[in-house]
Amino acid sequence: MSGTFLGMPAFPRNAAAAVQDSQLRFNLRKATRTIRGKRAAVVGELPDWAALREAGKQIKDHTLRNLDRYLLQLEEAVTRAGGHVHWAADAAEANRIVAGLVEATGETSVVKVKSMATQEIGLNEALAERGITAYETDLAELIVQLGDDWPSHILVPAIHRNRSEIREIFRERMGEWGRPAPEDLSDDPRALAEAARLHLRERFLASEVAISGANFMIAETGTLVVLESEGNGRMCLTLPRTLISVVGIEKLLPAWRDLEVFLQLLPRSSTGERMNPYTSTWTGAVEGQEFHLVLLDNGRTAVLADEVGRQALRCIRCSACLNVCPVYERAGGHAYGSVYPGPIGAILTPQLRASGTVASRDRLPPSATGDLDASLPYASSLCGACFEVCPVAIDIPEVLVHLRARTPHPRAERLGMRAAGWVFDRPVRLARAQRLGGRLRRFLPRRLPGPLSAWTDTRDIPDVPAESFRDWWDRTEGGTR
Amino acid sequence: MRVALFITCVNDTLFPGTGRAVVTLLRRLGCEVGFPRAQTCCGQMHLTTGYPREAARLARRLTDVFAGYDAVVTPSGSCAAMVREQYPRLARTAPGPSFAEAVAETAPKVHDLSEFLVDVLGVTDVGASFPHRVVYHPTCHSLRGLHLGDRPARLLRSVRGLELVPLPGAEECCGFGGTFAVKNPAVSAAMCADKVHNVMAAGAEVLCAADNSCLMHIGGALRRQRAGVRIMHLAEILAATGDDPPPGPGAGTGKGAEAGKGEGVGKGAVR
Ligand code: SF4
C-alpha cells in the first residue's frame, strides 16, 4: 500500500490488509452474493413487505419506549413459570452470574446455542478462566472455535472460510475437543456436516448444562424464542438439566401476537428462506429442568438515551445489512474488530463501548478500542443499501453521520474543513480560490501529496478548467453574449 | 417559469461544462434560468465528515440564497438529496426557528435535473441527439436517496441516435462516498475496480451519471487505466443536439477541449 497506510486509523488499516486477501475476497463475494439474491427473491414475493417492515419498526420502537414496564412484566411471567431472572448491568456481572450458576451445578463443561450476546460479553473466555469449558454447537461457531478464530458474520460466523479450509480445521482440531473427524474426510459439504453431527451428538448426550441467547422474549407470557437452521440449538435447549439464557434487554416484544410480524421479517431477511427450519419456544422451566434468564444491559440503556442512535436497538440481527454492504464484502468481518461486524456493527459497537460511563457519551474514549471505534462510523460510503434492506428500517447512514459528529477528528482534517468552510462562507473567496486553481492547473502534480495521495494512488484527478462556471456566467452574462 | 440553477461547488469549480449544459437545456425547454451568485456549497462534505455546525452554516446560506424562486434545479442527485433529506434534520438541531421555516420553504423546491424535467416540466423527449453507445450508472443518492427510478433512463432512451446499454451490478456503490474515498482508500479502490470492470463489460463508449462526483471517481480510475471510456454528465448528453461539433481528438483524456469557450454543449470532452 501507499504511504498513507502508516498512521491510518484501525478500520482502514485492517481493511487494507483484507482487500489483498484473495481467498477471503473470493469466499465473501460468493457467499454474500448468493444470500443477497435469495433474500431479494423471498422479500420480493411478499406484496406487504413495506407494511411488515413498518410494523416491525413500530413494535420495536414502542417496546423500547416502554422497556422498563415490559421488562418487569417479563420478569414476573418468567418467575411465575418457574424460571429465575437475573439482572446484569454489564459484561463482567453477566459472566459472574453465569459462571456462578454453572459452578452451582458441579459441572465443568457446557454446550452452547449460537448466541451473539454471549459473544459480546466474552462468556466463553470468562468461563475458561474459572475452569469451565464451553462447547459451541452451531456448525459455523464450531468451525470458528476449532480454528481458534474469530467470527466474521452475525449469521454465518465462518463465512470467511471455504470448505477445503473447513476440512483442514476438522481434521486437525476435532480430536482435541472430542470425537475426531474421519481420516479420509473429504470437503464435500455433506461429509463435513456428517463429521460435525457425530462429533456434536456425543457432546449433547453428555451435557448437563446449556447456555443460549434468544431472538425474542415475550413480555406477556415470559416466553423465549430461538430461530435456527440446524436443530442443534433445540438439542441444547431440551437435553440438559440446566438451561441458562443470556439475552439483551432490547430483544423484548410485548405480546405473543407480535411474533407474527417478526417470524416473517427475520428468516426472509436472514437466510433468505420463507421460514427457518426450527423455531423453539419455551416458557420458564419444564419438569426436571432448571431455567435461568440473565437480562443483559451492557450499554443498552445508555444507547437508548440517544435520540438518533437508539434506533440501533431495533436490530434483530438478521445480517441482511452485512450481506448487501459493499464495504463488508471487501473488508470482511474481522476488520470491524467486534462481534458485530458490517453496517450494524459500525453503529452499534462504538455506541455500546462508549457508554461505559455517562461522561464519555459526548466523545468516544481514547482507550485501546477508541482508535478502532472512532474509525468505525467512517467505514461506510453512505450508499444506503443497508437501510434499504433492514427489516426494521434502521437508518444506518443517519446514525453513522450522527456518530461522526462526535468522533475526534485529526488535526489536519479539522484545519482543512475549517479552511473550506471559510472559503464557502463568501462567494468572492470561492471565486478567488477557483481562479487561483485555474491559473495553477498546469502545475498540478499527477500524484497529490499527503492524505490526498490516497486519491491519486488509484485514480487520476480531473483537469481543472481554466474558468469556473461562475466566471463564465459573469463574462458571458449567462451565455447570452 | 423562473428557475434557479444550483450548480454545486464541485461542478462550479471542476465541471463548468455541466452547468453550461443545464443552462442550454433548460432554455431550450422554455425556462428562464437564473444563477444566484451568492451560492457556494450545500455543506454535504462537512456534514458527512462529521462537522455539522459548519454544514448548518452553509445550509442556512443556501436556503437564503434560493428563497423566492419557483424551482431550484441542480445537476447533482447527491446535493439535491442533501438539501431535501439532511437540511430538515440539521434544522431540528440548529438553533433558531427561522432556519427551520426557511428549510421547510426551500427544500421541497430543490430538484435534481431529471426529476425537474420529468415531474415538473413533464417531458422525457428533450429534443437531444447523441448517436453513441451509453451506459448509465445510477448513483446511490439518486437511486436510494431521491428514488429517481427510471427517470434518467427514460430521458436517455428518448435521445435520438443514443443506444442505452445495461450496466451489470448497476445498483452497487462505486466507492466514492465523499471523504470515504480518502479515508478508506483500499476499500474504495476495490469497489471502484468492480464498477470499472462492469462498465467495461457493458461495452459502451460513454459512461453517464447524474452526479459528477461519482463520475470523477470512476472516471479517474478509467483514465488511470487508459480504458478509453468517456464520462459525461446526464445534462451534457441531454443538451447535445445534432448541430454540435463532434468530440475533439482528446475526448475522454481531459486534454481535448478547453473550457470557457461559451458554447458548452455536448462537450463531454471538457474533463
Ligand atoms: S441492522 Fe437491520 S439489517 Fe442489519 S442485522 Fe440489524 S435488523 Fe438486520
Query: Which comes out higher in pLDDT, residue A235 or A312?
Result: A312
Q: Helix (H) and strand (E) counts for chain A?
A: 23, 10
Please return the burial class of A274, using the count of CB atoms within 10 Å of its CB with bins 0-12, 13-18 and 19+. Answer: exposed
Q: Which residues pair with A109 in a beta bridge?
A: A133
Greatest CA separation for chain B:
55
Residue closest to A408 by CA, chosen among A362, A343, A450, A442: A362
Atom of ligand 1 nearest to the CA of A342: 4
The distance of B14 to chain A (nearest Cα, Å) reads 6
| Distance, CA of A431 to CA of A421 (rounded, Å) | 14
pLDDT of residue B244: 60
Q: Mutual orientation of helices A189-206 and A139-146 as an angle, nearest 10°?
A: 90
DSSP state of A397: H
DSSP, collapsed to helix, strand or coil, labels residue A319 as coil
**Region A272-300 average pLDDT:** 95
Of the given ranges (B19-33, B92-106, B228-242), which has the lowest mean pLDDT?
B92-106
Task: State in Å, rounded, how far the first CA of chain B is from the last one.
Answer: 31
Q: Does domain B133-259 have CATH number 3.40.50?
A: yes
Contact B54 A417 (CB under 8 A): yes
Yes or no: say if B173 and B137 are a contact pair by the CB < 8 Å rule.
no
For the residues of B143-206, what is the DSSP string, one character each?
Answer: IIIS--TTHHHHHHHTSBT-EEE--TTTTS--S-TTTHHHHSHHHHHHHHHHHHHHHHHHT-SE
Q: Which residues pair with A246 in a beta bridge?
A: A294
Pocket lined around ligand 1, Cβ cut-off 6 Å: A 269, 315-321, 344, 389-392, 394
What's the CATH number of domain A3-302, 3.40.50.300, 3.40.50.10420, 3.40.50.1000, 3.30.950.10? 3.40.50.10420
Pinpoint the residues of chain B covered by CATH 3.40.50: 133-259
B 194-253: CB under 8 A from A: 216-217, 219-221, 223-224
Q: Residue B185 and residue A12: Cβ atoms within 8 Å?
A: yes
pLDDT category at B243 given cuts 50, 70, 90 is low
The CA distance from A442 to the nearest CA of chain B, in Å, is 11
**Grid coordinates belonging to A434:** 477557483
Say how many Å lie between the CA of residue B98 and the centre of ligand 1: 37
* pLDDT at A445 exceeding the cut of 80: no
Neighbours of A161 (CB within 10 A): 22
Grade residue A481 by pLDDT with cuts at 50, 70 and 90: confident
pLDDT of residue B250: 36
Contact (CB, 8 A) for A451 and B182:
yes
B contacts of A462 (beta carbons < 8 Å): 14-15, 216, 219-220, 254, 271
State pLDDT tens for residues A177-206. Answer: 999 999 999 999 999 999 999 999 989 988
Q: What is the DSSP string of A74-129?
A: HHHHHHHTT-EEEEESSHHHHHHHHHHHHHHHT-SEEEE---HHHHHTTHHHHHHH
Asked if pLDDT for residue B95 goes beyond 80, the answer is no
Distance between Cα A224 and ligand 1 center (Å): 20
- pLDDT value at position A389? 98
| % of chain A exceeding 90 in pLDDT | 78
Please report which confidence band the pLDDT of residue B96 belongs to, taking 50, 70 and 90 as the band edges. Answer: confident
SS3 at position A286: coil
All residues at 6 or more sequence positions from B4 whose CB lies less than 8 Å from its CB, including other chains: B33, B34, B35, B36, B66, B69, B71, B72, B73
Average pLDDT value over all residues in chain B: 89
Burial letters B211-249, b for 16+ CB under 10 A, else e: bbbbbbbbbbbbbbeebebbbbbbbbbbbbbeeeeebbe
Q: Which residues on A lie below 8 Å from B86 (Cβ)?
A: 401
- Closest residue on chain A to B78 (Cα): A383
- Percentage above 90 pLDDT, chain B: 82
A401 and B24 within 8 Å at the Cβ level: the answer is no
Specify the DSSP class assigned to residue A220.
T
DSSP result, chain B: -EEEE---HHHHHH-HHHHHHHHHHHHHTTPEEE--TT----SHHHHHHT-HHHHHHHHHHHHHHHTT-SEEEES-HHHHHIIIIIHHHHHHHSS-HHHHHHHHHHGGGEEEHHHIIIIIS--S--S-B--SEEEE---HIIIIIS--TTHHHHHHHTSBT-EEE--TTTTS--S-TTTHHHHSHHHHHHHHHHHHHHHHHHT-SEEEES-HHHHHHHHHHHHHTT---EEEEHHHHHH--TTSPPPPTTTTTT-SSPTTSS--SS-TT--
Q: Does B180 touch chain A (CB under 8 A)?
A: yes
Contact: B181, A454; criterion CB under 8 Å: yes
Contact in structure between A477 and B35 (CB atoms under 8 Å):
no
Q: Which of A134, A128, A191, A135 is nearest to A163 (CA)?
A: A191
Q: A10-20 pLDDT, tens per residue?
A: 899 999 999 99
The answer to whether residues A246 and A211 touch, using CB atoms and an 8 Å cutoff, is yes
- Model pTM above 0.90: yes
Burial bucket for residue A155 (CB in 10 Å: 0-12, 13-18, 19+): buried
Calculate how far, in angstroms, residue A263's C-alpha sits from the geometric centre of ligand 1.
14
Q: Which atom of ligand 1 is nearest to the CA of A344?
A: 1
Give the residue, by CA position, lying nearest to ligand 1 atom 3.
A390
Chain A to chain B Cβ contacts (< 8 Å): 219
Question: What residue type is A352 in one-letter code?
Answer: L
Per-residue pLDDT tens over the stretch B4-44: 999 999 999 999 999 999 999 999 999 999 999 999 999 99
For the segment A356-395, what is each residue's pLDDT rounded down to a tens digit? 433 333 333 444 467 888 899 999 999 999 999 999 999 9
DSSP bridge pairs for B232: B208
Residues of chain B with Cβ-Cβ distance to A19 below 8 Å are 186-187, 189-190
pLDDT in tens, B196-205: 999 999 999 9
Confidence at residue A356, expressed as pLDDT on a 0 to 100 scale: 46
Q: For B180-193, what is the mean pLDDT? A: 94
What's the pLDDT at A41?
97
With cell 466474552, the residue in question is: A122
A386-399 pLDDT, tens digit each: 999 999 999 999 99
pLDDT at A439: 85
C-alpha span between A450 and A7 (Å, rounded): 12
Coil, helix or strand at residue A227: strand
Any A CB within 8 A of B76 CB: no
Residue A237, helix vs strand vs coil = helix
Handedness of CA A138, A142, A145, A151 (dihedral sign): negative
Per-domain residue ranges for chain A? 3-302, 420-476
Compute φ and ψ for B41, nearest 5 degrees: -140, 145
8 Å CB contact between A284 and A82: yes
Phi-psi region of B137 (alpha: psi -120 to 50; beta: other; left: phi over 0): beta
Separation between Cα atoms, residue A172 and residue A174, nearest integer Å: 6
Q: Provide the pLDDT for residue A113.
A: 95
Distance from CA of B183 to the nearest CA of A (A): 7
| Residues from chain B contacting residue A434 (CB–CB below 8 Å) | 12-13
d(CA A338, CA A347): 11
Alpha-carbon separation of residue A439 from A432, A433, A465 (angstroms)? 11, 10, 9
Q: Please report, for residues A39, A49, A396, the alpha-carbon distance to residue A389 in angstroms, rounded to integers and kept in the order given.
A: 9, 11, 11
Q: Which atom of ligand 1 is nearest to the CA of A320?
A: 3
Supply the pLDDT for residue A443. 78
Residue nearest to atom 6 of ligand 1 (CA): A315
